[in-house]
Structure 1
Amino acid sequence: MTKFKQLQLPAFRSKNYRLFFAGQGISLIGTWMTQLATVWLVYDLTNSPLMLGVVGFASQIPSFFLAPFGGVFVDRFSRYRTLIGTQIMAMIQSLALAGLTLTGVIQVWHIIALSLLQGFINALDAPARQAFVPELVERREDLANAIAINSTMINGARLIGPAVGGLLIARVGVAYCFLIDGLSYIAVIAGLIAMTVKPWKIPVIQGNPIQRVKEGFIYAFSFPPIRAILLLSALVSLMGLQNTILVPVFAETILKGGAETLGFLMAASGVGALSGGIYLATRKTILGIGKLIAIAPAILGCGLIAFAISRFLPLSLFTMLFVGLGTILQIAASNTFLQTIVEEDKRGRLMSLYTMSFLGMIPIGNLIGGGIADIIGAPNTLIIDGIACIIGSIFFSRQLPALRQMVIPIYEQKGILARK
């Protein structure tokens, strides 16, 4: 038992985090199955890269406009109760999608409308989820490990979900992916209900929501390290993640495959992301994380360019490993850094801005990527995306020494440098 405790990851010492991990792990597999099934269904109904972009735009654009207000909300109200509510609404959305598909009446406008609804849910759920993680761990020093494990969990699901989803689509159809996703929310809701959570203390808040949003923007963008992270995340989301809606074009049109090919491509990306998540989860300190944030977009960019050029499935699968690795290193490392240095009373608002820079820019990128792919083709589009990510990596790397000097006082205040 003693040896087991020594091997146990720090975040798992907290009962609430174990419950959160178990519930989310099951639910996220269903979420990735639904993402795969949605893009496949849209491409099957329309054969249009542009429509893939439109659906991706609808599912994420609410995060761009509403995430800052979601941050104000989760700084004001119980994050625990907020998450229970968003998970119930997400379950209803997935079951509605399943019902429409099972009855054979599904149309593209149904998918767009339900994707838009999911976007509204995510605009509140994402900042609440990010801000809730510190409440799950009993020791402050376990926070970085919890964030890294979250990334591993998400990308473990990203590996399993698309692979299973591709097989289900090929065997029984997309409707059952939606149905399984809807039922999987039961696990996360049950996990949340089983937690023992401290009563929420209503903070004393001055000013109206608009003033609170403005205060959050000023806090984030007046400090160069936070501003640089948010801008780099926005670039990666705008350009680097267009591949998520263009992969069906490669699977069917370029690689001459089907739903299973699509599932394998997304699963390969998940393997790379899972590897990055495991690496981050086993890091014992946040020191040096700036270098990871700097190099991650370059890894992603090189992976995108190689994937765009490939016409051989095994090579395409290999290149997707680097796409997934670069993506998760950038997202998770940035998240860990921001969660570590943020002032507690501004955590919800900063994480909402991170959600805005990450999830909020994806819809714009999806729309741009789908439109450009309709004109110059999906491969040329991803080559442009890859070049943009590499340029962003170079620019951030040049800023890194100056940014590091600004962060050192915060690390000293929090005792991080003392534990080096």
Structure 2
Amino acid sequence: MNVSIRDWVLVRNANLRRLVFGRLVTNAGDSVYAIAAMWLVYDLTGSSAYTGLAGFLTMAPQALQVFAGPLVDRWSLRRILVRTQLVQAVLVLAIPLADFLGVLSVWVVLTVMPLVSLLNQLVYPAQSAAVPRIVDGDDLVTANSLLSLSYQGVDMAFNALAGVLIAATGAVTLYLLDSVSFAVAAALFVRLHIPAAGEDDEPATDTDSSAATGAVADGGADAPVPDDDDDDELGPSGYLDDLRAGLGFVRGSILLPMLVTGLVANGLLGGAWATMPTFADARGGPEAYGMLMAAIAGGILVGAAVASVFDDLPFGPLTVGLFAVSGSAWLAAISVSWLPGTIALLTLATVPIGISNVITMAIIQTLVPDDLLGRVMAAVGSLSTLMMPAGSALGGVFGDTVGAEFVVGAGGAGLLFVAAYVLAVPSLRRLPAIDEMETLAA
């Protein structure tokens, strides 16, 4: 597989370019916001229990993502992306406004965080559902790599920058940057043309003016642009039927046993995220926190960049090997007291996560029908992160009692569990390479 040639899909496909750049811009603000929000909670309280509560309130909406699935499959994906960005741009301004009025408290921050997260539960499945509609099947791994690169690459740079900016200007100021990024992303998303589910039209390219811009076709009539801008009506009974269809697909597929690994690993990692500010404070303050979170994002970035090198390998054995390396490196990182060593090992530990994320996404997008994809992606997102909020809340409590280092280290045990579980379950251990998979049926 020639990665350098396939990556030209970003140049060929105008819609993918808008989606990637829109995600890049909004994630720049999100990265700064995520670091600023967690540090602001820690700065206002000095307690891991409160950062655990902040993590719980931010992650809990992820468990509700399954209920967004039927809406994503019925509503205009472009409108979802544009409107959620605009609402989020207004929401995050509440923090600097409260600070200006002298009424800022930890409870104001804890109110805004879950609202922003709740809106993101529409954004992520909408972006995932849009990808197979705007790129050819052969480009799915590359397209998902590009989206992951835009996400993790920005995280890596802006997580580190956020730590420096917090130390220089304070966390509150960074919320203004986030608001601007949401507005810019909305402006990029508004130009997206996403074909409706089931359309056979080729993805818009810079050389296909009728598809990309809706130019006048031969004969003088306006050329129709296949798009999903007409929202389907969805009554209560239809909504429930759609919800059951998405959950039913997951229940009858190999995705269900795969979700067990997410429940355990994400529960333990939730505790790690919650106590990371306390862990980092002992190693240098907000700058150290930004660097550690940048290391995690950087590792996932590298994994996403090289994922296409691994997509020809049998997925089951590949998963075992990846997460065995990941868990071992994570535990080694926590045991090292030298900050640069911890940063290097955390980067190594998260490379396998980036590889696995991209290939898993491509498998789902390849084998799930377009008209079910939003519901299935939302169901997988909800179920895989179901334990993360609980892990965050418990991790915060344990961080104050047994120490943040122990709780962060437990994240490595969660990663090792993934390798052990896949190895122990024959149906997962024997999963072939993506191009050899014909169905997700259990």
Bin the TM-score by the shorter chain.
0.7 to 0.9
Q: Report if the CA contact (8 A) 1:286-1:337 is conserved.
A: no
Does 1:150 find its partner at 2:147?
yes
1:18–1:408 distance in 2 versus 1, CA, 3 Å: closer
Match of 1:249 in 2: 278
Tell me, what secondary structure is at the counterpart of 2:173? helix
1:141-188: per-residue Cα shift (whole Å, max 9, x none)? 212211121111111011111111111111111122211111011221
1:102–1:213 distance in 2 versus 1, CA, 3 Å: same
Match of 2:199 in 1: none
Match of 1:33 in 2: 32
1:275–1:211 distance in 2 versus 1, CA, 3 Å: same
Does 1:311 find its partner at 2:340?
no
What is the alpha-carbon distance in structure 2 between the residues aligned to residue 78 and residue 242 of structure 1?
36
Pick one of 203, 206, 209 that aligns with 2:239.
Answer: 209
What is the alpha-carbon distance in structure 1 between the residues aligned to residue 80 and residue 43 of structure 2?
36
Tell me, what secondary structure is at the counterpart of 1:242? helix
- What residue identity is the alignment partner of 2:239? P
Match of 1:418 in 2: none
- TM-score by length of structure 2 reads 0.84
1:412–1:176 distance in 2 versus 1, CA, 3 Å: same
What is the alpha-carbon distance in structure 1 between the residues aligned to residue 342 and residue 435 of structure 2?
44
**How far is 1:214 from its partner?**
2.3
Match of 1:123 in 2: 121
Match of 2:218 in 1: none
1:104–1:289 distance in 2 versus 1, CA, 3 Å: farther
**How far is 1:205 from its partner?**
8.0
Pick one of 167, 170, 173 that aligns with 1:173.
Answer: 170
Match of 1:365 in 2: 391
**How far is 1:315 from its partner?**
1.5
Give the superposed CA RMSD.
Answer: 2.7
Between Structure 1 and Structure 2, how many residues are aligned? 405
Pick one of 261, 276, 279 that aligns with 1:232.
Answer: 261
1:112-148: per-residue Cα shift (whole Å, max 9, x none)? 11112113212222222221222332x2321221112
1:1-54: per-residue Cα shift (whole Å, max 9, x none)? xxxx94743344210111121222122111111111111111111111111110
1:221–1:295 distance in 2 versus 1, CA, 3 Å: farther
Q: Report if the CA contact (8 A) 1:75-1:347 is conserved.
A: yes
Q: Report if the CA contact (8 A) 2:16-2:134 is conserved.
A: yes
Match of 1:377 in 2: 403
After superposition, where does 1:404-419 map in structure 2 within 5 Å? Answer: 404=430, 411-412=437-438
- What residue identity is the alignment partner of 1:374? D
After superposition, where does 1:386-401 map in structure 2 within 5 Å? Answer: 386-399=412-425
Does 1:219 find its partner at 2:216?
no
What is the alpha-carbon distance in structure 2 between the residues aligned to residue 402 and residue 110 of structure 1?
44
Match of 1:55 in 2: 54
Tell me, what secondary structure is at the counterpart of 1:199? coil
Match of 1:44 in 2: 43
Shifted more, 404-413 versus 39-48: the winner is 404-413
**How far is 1:189 from its partner?**
0.9
What is the alpha-carbon distance in structure 2 between the residues aligned to residue 209 and residue 103 of structure 1?
42
1:338-382: per-residue Cα shift (whole Å, max 9, x none)? 222212221111100121134443222211211222221112223
Q: Report if the CA contact (8 A) 1:273-1:324 is conserved.
A: yes
What is the alpha-carbon distance in structure 1 between the residues aligned to residue 6 and residue 70 of structure 2?
38
**How far is 1:273 from its partner?**
1.5
What is the alpha-carbon distance in structure 2 between the residues aligned to residue 86 and residue 211 of structure 1?
25
Q: Report if the CA contact (8 A) 1:292-1:333 is conserved.
A: no
After superposition, where does 1:88-103 map in structure 2 within 5 Å? Answer: 88-103=86-101
What is the alpha-carbon distance in structure 2 between the residues aligned to residue 406 and residue 316 of structure 1?
34
> Where does structure 1 lack aligned partners over 5 or more consecutive residues?
415-420
**How far is 1:275 from its partner?**
0.9
Q: Percent identity?
A: 25
**How far is 1:105 from its partner?**
2.8
> Where does structure 2 lack aligned partners over 5 or more consecutive residues?
195-225
- TM-score by length of structure 1 reads 0.88
Q: Report if the CA contact (8 A) 1:131-1:348 is conserved.
A: yes
1:193–1:359 distance in 2 versus 1, CA, 3 Å: same
Bigger share in helix:
1
Does 1:298 find its partner at 2:296?
no
Match of 2:289 in 1: 262
1:321–1:105 distance in 2 versus 1, CA, 3 Å: same
